[in-house]
Amino acid sequence: MSLVVPAHKRARTRPAPPVRIVHMGLGAFSRSHTAWYTAHAADAHEWGIAAYTGRSAYLAEALTAQDGLYTLIERSAGGDQAEVIESIVRAHPGDDLDSLFADIAAVTTSIVTLTITEAGYRSGADGAPDLTDPLVVADIAALRTLARGSDPGTLRLQTALGRLVWGLELRRRSHGTPLAVVSCDNLPDNGRHVGRSVVSLARSVLPETAMWCEQNISFVSSSVDRITPRISSQEQVALAARYGDGVPVLTEPFHDWVLAGDFPEGRPAWESSGARFTNELEPWEARKLWLLNGAHTLLACLGLLRGHVDVARAMADPVCRQAVEEFWSEAQRHLPEDLDLHGYRAALIERFTNPGIVHRLSQIVLDTPTKLRLRIAPVAERERRAGRSARGCATVLAAWMVASESGLAPASVSGIEAPTKDNSVAGALTAVSAELAEDFAFVTLIEQSVQQVKSLVSW
Ligand SMILES: NC(=O)c1ccc[n+]([C@@H]2O[C@H](COP(=O)([O-])OP(=O)(O)OC[C@H]3O[C@@H](n4cnc5c(N)ncnc54)[C@H](O)[C@@H]3O)[C@@H](O)[C@H]2O)c1
Ligand SMILES: O=P(O)(O)OC[C@@H](O)[C@@H](O)[C@H](O)[C@H](O)CO
């Protein structure tokens, strides 16, 4: 991808902080959230970030040309607030593996943060690395060769977690200083998820590393929240002209970050920029993942079927809005009441209808099957176990099935078969929840919902 607008020359007004955080998955969100929290911490001058994209060089090159600096624009109905964020000190393309390994292994590095997307974890339905995924299989083979002493430069580890495992192995070999790994992706118990995946990837090929990780790496879970859509080229050109920045980030004013876990080598004073630390992350995480991300997944499937292009327009459609409210009411029954659920729902409606934030449904619909498994299935399973119909969840699943049949949403995850004509609903549900796929009454309800959704499709 070439630069939409040329990167702009920028210069720091104060010395860059020393690199003590390595970020994998540099994108819009990491720059509106993790880098923002770090830049706003009271001790920001002590914490610099070396950030790596997934693969592409585009953003890394543009940021490097701007000395790591970029403009963050908070947009609300009241207008824009812009500021320059200084916490990213170096930006690298994701395949600059030698630098990545050196950064993870550096004794000065205390934290690795991740925004590699839900699909980037390459997990199977049980949460462990998906051993049917060709990239996971290739990385295990590559790690085995590396473990035997081959040159890391000649073998290109391809998955984020494969790369993380090798970086941790080099850290273990060179000094063994502990580290915190913080997931900032929209996955439940994301820290434990990374921990299990890293240890399980390492176990078969680098057993000593697996054991060392269990004892020395603190896998921190976190619930992250800030709606930061990918901006269109047109918007990027307009913002570049206004703010003199080739790679600005546009986000909403709202932000939240709740973390659970230890930081053996210290951390920025993120609480001074509003982050919260807790021993009980699960309720906060479920509130956010089910109500916000679950509704986004619903709006993506149903909204696209109804001919909408973005969240705000889908929310303005009474059919989509009613489906969201019904799903929310089901989810809310399984969340602690003291989390101000009414206030959170009201705030979500305002955030989803922010006229300045164009959040494209085509972006949100990516990887839908994984998201349904993590955001809709847990609510549906709880509702069914409580003896209720889970009609709101059935509508979400039916909308996905119709959208995937129409080519608007992905049908399968990690090679699991898409709906088939003869046994479509139960077959498709297998990708989302084995428990639901065996629930005859729920499968029947989805079959009815599919017909209902088809009658709502507008084309
Ligand atoms: N954008 C948001 O509003 C938002 C809010 C909360 C959480 N998040 C989390 O952050 C993630 C990234 O969001 P974003 O808006 O920055 O997206 P983005 O597309 O701007 O950046 C994603 C980054 O992840 C990398 N990546 C993509 N697929 C990957 C893969 N399979 N393996 C490894 N790396 C991969 C990309 O190369 C890029 O560096 C989301 O998937 C979500 O889990 C995003
Ligand atoms: O790809 P997803 O579904 O995890 O994310 C799409 C949006 O729901 C997400 O980016 C939200 O805007 C974000 O999670 C808000 O904090």
Take atom 8 of ligand 2 and give the residue whose Cα is closest.
Answer: 293
Which ipTM value was assigned to this complex?
A: 0.96
Copy the structure tokens of residue 282.
């699960």
Which ligand ends up closest to the CA of 222? 1
List, in order, residues 6 or more apart from 78 with CB less than 8 Å away.
none
d(CA 457, CA 459): 6
pLDDT at res. 459: 61
Residue (of 118, 46, 58, 47) closest to 91 by Cα position: 58
Residue located via tokens 């409606």 = 349
pLDDT at res. 154: 65
Provide the phi-psi class of 367: left if phi over 0, else alpha when psi is between -120 and 50, else beta: left
Nearest atom of ligand 1 to the alpha carbon of 228: 3
Extract the runs of DSSP E, i.e. beta strands, from 130-196.
179-183
List, in order, residues 6 or more apart from 411 with CB less than 8 Å away.
369, 404, 405, 418, 419, 428
The tens digit of pLDDT for each residue in 171-207 reads 999 999 999 999 999 999 999 999 999 999 999 899 9
Site to probe by mutation for ligand 2, drawn from 293, 352, 373, 413 as the one with most ligand atoms within 8 Å of Cβ, is 293
- Which parts of the chain have pLDDT scores under 70? 1-9, 152-154, 412-423, 458-459
Confidence (pTM): 0.93
d(CA 96, CA 399): 40
The CATH number of 283-456, from 3.40.190.10, 3.40.50.720, 3.20.20.70, 1.10.1040.10, is 1.10.1040.10
CA distance readout (Å), 117 to 38, 66, 185, 371, 418: 20, 25, 6, 11, 22
CA distance readout (Å), 333 to 189, 225, 243, 380: 20, 22, 45, 11
Which ligand ends up closest to the CA of 55? 1
d(CA 53, CA 140): 22
- The domains spanning 19-279 and 283-456 adopt the same CATH topology: no
d(CA 415, CA 24): 25
Q: Is the CB of 228 under 6 A from ligand 1?
A: yes
CA 229, chain centre distance (Å): 12
d(CA 355, CA 378): 31
Ligand 2 pocket, CB under 6 A? 118, 186, 225-227, 292-293, 296-297, 364, 371
Cβ(221)–Cβ(285) under 8 Å?
Answer: yes
Nearest atom of ligand 2 to the alpha carbon of 296: 8
Domain positions in the chain: 19-279, 283-456
Residues in the chain: 459
- CA–centroid distance, residue 116 to ligand 1 (Å): 5
The tens digit of pLDDT for each residue in 69-78 reads 999 999 998 9
pLDDT at res. 2: 42
d(CA 417, CA 427): 7
Residue (of 160, 79, 80) closest to 121 by Cα position: 160
DSSP character string of 53-74: -SS-SHHHHHHHHTTT-EEEEE
Q: Which CATH architecture has domain 19-279?
A: 3-Layer(aba) Sandwich (3.40)
Take atom 14 of ligand 1 and give the residue whose Cα is closest.
Answer: 29
